[in-house]
Chains A and B, each alone.
Chain A
Amino acid sequence: MGQQKTVLLVDDEQIMHDLACAYLEREGFTLHSAYTGVSGLETIRDLKPDIVLLDYMLPRMDGEQVFSELRQNPEYKEVRDTPVILLTARGSDESLKTRLLKRGVVAYLQKPFGLRELSDVINNIITLRDIRHSHRLLEIEVKSTKQHLSSIFQNAPVGIFSCNSQGDLQQVNQYLLQLLPELSQNDQLINVLRDEFFHDSFFTKGVRFVLQHGRSWKKELIPWSGGQMKNLILNVHFVPIQVEEAGLENAKSVMGIIEDVTEWERKNFQLKLLSQVSAAMQQTMGLRKLLHLLLTAITAGPALSFTRAMIFLINDSGRELKGAMGVGPMSAEDALEIWNRLNRENLNMEQYIFNYGPRLPGENEQLNLSVLAVSIPLHEHTALTDTLRKKEHFWFKKEQARNEGYANYPQSLAPLHLEEFIAVPVVANDKLLGAIIADNKFSNQPIEDDRVHLLSLIASQAAHGIEKAHSYEQLREEKLKLEKALAELKRTQVRLIHTEKLAAIGEMAAHVAHEIRNPLVTIGGFARQLQKKNPDGQDANNPAKIIADEVLRLEKILENVLNFTKLPDPEPRNDNINQLIHHIVEQLQPEFENRNITVHLKLQENCPDQHFDQGQIKQVLLNLLKNSQQSFTQQGSIWISTQVENEIMRIRVEDNGPGIAHDMLTDIFNPFYTTKKHGTGLGLAISQRIIHGHGGEIRVNTKIGSGTRFDILLPLNFEPGNQEHNRSTLKAVIV
């Protein structure tokens, strides 16, 4: 013990003082002395000794009286509990001892006593007193700790509960009761394992898990809706604890912490949502998909959590906003149904929008249809349209006063049964593209400021997305057109190839037929001569007649073959040759550039329109230009000119290529004659037939080493099959 203990001896015998002093001081005590009861009491009061040795036999006031005084007199209140050891004489009354011990004297010693005995008793008493003192301190501490803990428990900014092995809730703090008021019914804590409301909820699952496995159970971001359709996001952590329960030793119990992270998560989601929406708007996607994503973002999850969202887009005239899409329930039952499903499926926003697929669960087509049927006339003077025209958002509150004669919104919106709602404009490049209208119909939650702000932000992202989608749609249309054109081109090409094949067969047949015709005419003609000179010439059995008839039959077959294989008759229309040439040159330009070929045009000014089959003449020109182009080994020039003279259009295609050898010149218009590796030998033959078909001519002039010139001569007034046409004019013209 650090501090010296003080002992007061109250005794009238000096010898006692001397002895005690000598011994106790040696033992480490400080001894004070008093010789009467009165001075003893005063000394106790003033010096506050740790222990008092009180002789019973004192003059005037005996030990019992002194003790009584000490315990009862308010003057000694402070020192009332000082332990007192009574010293008695041998043979004194036993009942006295008992009485005094009962009254609180801690011990008594019977004189004469050993000094060792005295110090043992003193030490014991002091130890006892110290123990009692610290016990009292401990009690106080325990009490205050308990209060402290209870206050922490009750006031913690997090929900805390404990329940026993049967699922009976033992303790639930204030916070948790506010969060989940259903935990208490009629001021009684419920049993979480048996409660209807919490059936199959995270609460029941968690408690059951911890009780079964004895391990902790932790879940984050659990969506939870209370009775008032208030959407909460909870983090929960349940752990097993060991608590002694009556009759059960170490029974399993559960305590858990439930944290409401709705606000935090909402802020988080708002940021995420914004970045997700903005990312989505950067992608190229169809307009419908984009709109659906937008509206889903506005209605699903805790970030905005509007019940309904609708989007309207400006029409072509710019005078109306046409309903484009709506997402949301049509009735309170619907809303609740979606609400409950959301909870059951434990979806967060991200999963909701990006994993759930194109169709919102419980999406009611009815709202969508209603929205599609609505258009907002922008020119109408209402609070809504005036605000949207200014490209500002419009927040209609139920309690807002209605001005007489100035409607809040156009009558056409009536089918949507709007109450309180927010409308934000969708603006890109200072142009109003549309508007988003959102409300909390059926949930009746108020619209909050920060959500309006977020909605505006999303609308501005949406604007860019919508603009992009528009261009995407246009591109797609263009692409479709191109694809169609390409398909048409391919079909034409196939047809052309087919035509070319037919033409090839035709050419061959025509060639053979013409070659056969002359000998046939000779044979038949002479047979007729023989027949005429023979008197039996008309006899059916006359060999000459037989020959003549058979030849005639062959000629007819030949004529049929020629008719069958000839090129289709030209279908002339009034067209302009110069235009056709421009068109062809433009078409071939990339190829010319590729081969370093320059094309010079020298076309007749004010070239009159004329009758010709554009497709056929185009084929001729293409043939000539391609021949020229293929004849060049390096760079070269091609000149194309047109000139009208004497009612004849002359188209000249001239090049400075290698030219054609003279001995080949007679053959170039013959079918199947070719100098090219992959040529069919039909290009010029067919060209010639086409020009002939137009009543024209094609001529060639060439000089080895300096070039080739083709002239196409076409009568301006071509009318097929009219032999008598303008014969005299022509005669005049040509001569």
Chain B
Amino acid sequence: MKPKILLVEDENSLRLLYKQVLSDDGYLVFDAENSIQAFDIIKMHHPDLAILDIRLSGEDGLDLMGRLLQMKVKIPVILHTAYSAWKDNFRGKMADAYIVKSSDMTELKDTVRKFLPLQSN
């Protein structure tokens, strides 16, 4: 069974890109545009890892992460953002990883693989 990833990203093209890349790597990717969709996915699919963009319309990624923690959803959280400024944010620090978006997705893929090792097939 493929590991499940929650991907929250409000920009359509990027969401499409990450979904493709991570799916190609062998993960099952559930993508959400905002926190509401994200919670639906969590309830329905129980993902193994969450990749959260910080700037979202409505509740932002940090709030979302806080809520996950409150809900005792104990999955690794990767903050994935265009802004390096949040890196030192006290809430940002609660994330398991903080990755600045790049077209070179090696870092993202490596981090995901670290938390969710793929069974070699």
Contact = CB atoms under 8 A, between A and B. Distances in A.
B105 A514 contact: no
Interface in B46-78: 66, 69-70
A109 interface: no
B13 interface: yes
A83 interface: no
Contacts of B92: 695
B89 A697 contact: yes
Interface string A700-731: 00000000000001010010110101110011
A644 to B, nearest CB: 13
A723 B82 contact: no
Contacts of A726: 93
B102 A555 contact: yes
Nearest to B88: A695
B85 A528 contact: no
B87 interface: yes
B7 to A, nearest CB: 13
A721 B88 CA distance: 6
B45 interface: no
A695 B93 contact: yes
Given A527-B103, A552-B103, A555-B103, A697 B91 contact: yes
B21 A522 contact: no
B93 A725 contact: yes
B118 interface: no
Contact of B105 (A528, A693, A696, A727): A528
A593 to B, nearest CB: 37
B85 A692 contact: yes
Contacts of A519: 13
A521 B103 contact: yes
Given A518-B82, A522-B13, A693-B85, A713 B101 contact: no
Given A522-B13, A522-B17, A528-B103, A734 B91 contact: yes
Contacts of B37: none
Nearest to B14: A522
A570 to B, nearest CB: 9
Interface in B77-121: 82-94, 98, 101-105
Q: Is the interface of A mostly helix, strand, loop or mixed?
A: helix
Contacts of A526: 13, 17
Interface in A525-570: 525-529, 532, 548, 551-552, 555, 562
Given A522-B17, A695-B93, A734 B69 contact: yes
Max count, chain A CB within 10 A of own CB: residue among B18, B69, B82: B82
Contacts of A548: 103
A693 to B, nearest CB: 7
Interface in A58-105: none
A514 B66 CA distance: 25
Contacts of A692: 85-86, 88-89
A735 B68 CA distance: 9
Contacts of A266: none
Contacts of B24: 529, 532
Given A525-B17, A692-B86, A694-B88, A552 B104 contact: yes
A696 B91 CA distance: 8
Contacts of A718: 88, 90
Contact of B17 (A529, A551, A693): A529
Nearest to A695: B88
B94 to A, nearest CB: 5
A272 interface: no
A517 interface: yes
A454 interface: no
A518 B93 contact: no
A695 to B, nearest CB: 4
A718 B84 CA distance: 17
Given A514-B82, A521-B103, A693 B88 contact: yes
Nearest to B98: A723
A237 interface: no
A689 interface: yes
A693 B88 CA distance: 7
Interface residues of A, number: 41
Nearest to A547: B103
A521 B14 contact: yes
Contacts of B69: 731, 734-735
Nearest to B104: A552
Max chain B C-beta neighbours (<10 A), residue from A518, A519, A524: A518
Given A517-B82, A522-B14, A696-B90, A734 B103 contact: no
Contacts of B13: 519, 522, 526
B24 to A, nearest CB: 8
Contacts of A280: none
A523 interface: yes
A718 B66 CA distance: 20
Nearest to A570: B88
A121 interface: no
B103 A525 contact: yes
A731 B94 contact: yes
A529 B24 CA distance: 9
Nearest to A567: B85
A539 B69 CA distance: 46
A518 B14 contact: yes
B21 A529 contact: yes
Contacts of B20: 529
A648 interface: yes
A652 B94 CA distance: 24
Contact of A523 (B84, B91, B103): B103
Most B Cβ at <10 Å: residue of A527, A529, A689: A529
B89 A524 contact: no
A520 interface: yes
A735 B90 CA distance: 12
A521 B101 contact: yes
Contacts of B21: 525, 528-529
Given A514-B83, A517-B82, A518-B11, A730 B94 contact: yes
A552 B98 CA distance: 20
A528 to B, nearest CB: 7
A648 B91 CA distance: 11
A524 B14 CA distance: 10
Contacts of A521: 14, 17, 82, 101-103
A557 B20 CA distance: 26
Indicate the member of A525, A548, A725 with the most B CB atoms within 10 Å: A525
A166 to B, nearest CB: 111
Given A521-B14, A529-B17, A734-B66, A551 B103 contact: yes
Contacts of B103: 520-525, 527-528, 548, 551-552, 555
Contacts of B66: 734-735
A648 B93 CA distance: 13
B17 A734 contact: no
Contacts of B87: 723
A521 B105 CA distance: 9
B29 to A, nearest CB: 14
Given A692-B85, A697-B89, A734-B66, A525 B98 contact: no
Contacts of B102: 521, 524, 552, 555
Contact of B101 (A518, A529, A695, A725): A518
A551 B88 CA distance: 27
Contact of B88 (A523, A648, A713, A720): A720
6 contacts: A526-B17, A562-B84, A692-B89, A693-B85, A695-B92, A696-B90
3 smallest CB-CB distances across A and B, nearest first, come from: A524-B103, A695-B88, A715-B90
Given A521-B17, A521-B103, A735-B66, 6 more contacts: A525-B17, A529-B21, A555-B102, A693-B85, A696-B89, A727-B94
